[in-house]
Amino acid sequence: MRPIDADALKATISKYEFNAPNEMYKQGGECVLNFYMPKIIDDAPTIEAEPVRHGGWAYNDMYLPNCAECSECGWKSSVSGDEISSYHYCPNCGARMDGGISDGINE
């Protein structure tokens, strides 16, 4: 399965130029592109999906220097030190933690 943005696809189709060997094929192709394809896209079944959230771990708490905090939800981990890098997703909000680890100084 590959979820797509239906609105973006419809916008792309509206800009698409149909190449055809003759005028009859061209008109037929443009009819399919401009009339049927948007309707087919609108009628396609949808899935329940949430956008992927991206975050990172930050050490911002001066009182708890080994406590990493999720940049997306603020959840604080009791996991200390280098162990936090093994958490690829925030256990609280599910953000994908591909934003690295910061010490909070450059934020």
> How many chain residues bind Zn ion (CB under 5 A)?
8
Q: Counting contacts by CB under 5 A, is residue 92 touching Zn ion?
A: yes
Tell me how far apart the alpha carbons of residues 104 and 56 are, in angstroms, rounded to a whole number: 11
Q: Indicate the residue among 46 and 78 with the shorter CB distance to Zn ion.
A: 78
- Provide the β-strand partners of residue 76: 69
Identify which range of 7-15, 29-37, 43-51, 73-81 contacts Zn ion by CB under 5 A: 73-81
Nearest CA-CA partner of 97 in 107, 106, 84: 84
Residues in the chain: 107
- In the complex, the residues that contact Zn ion under the rule CB under 5 A are 70, 72-73, 75, 90, 92-93, 95
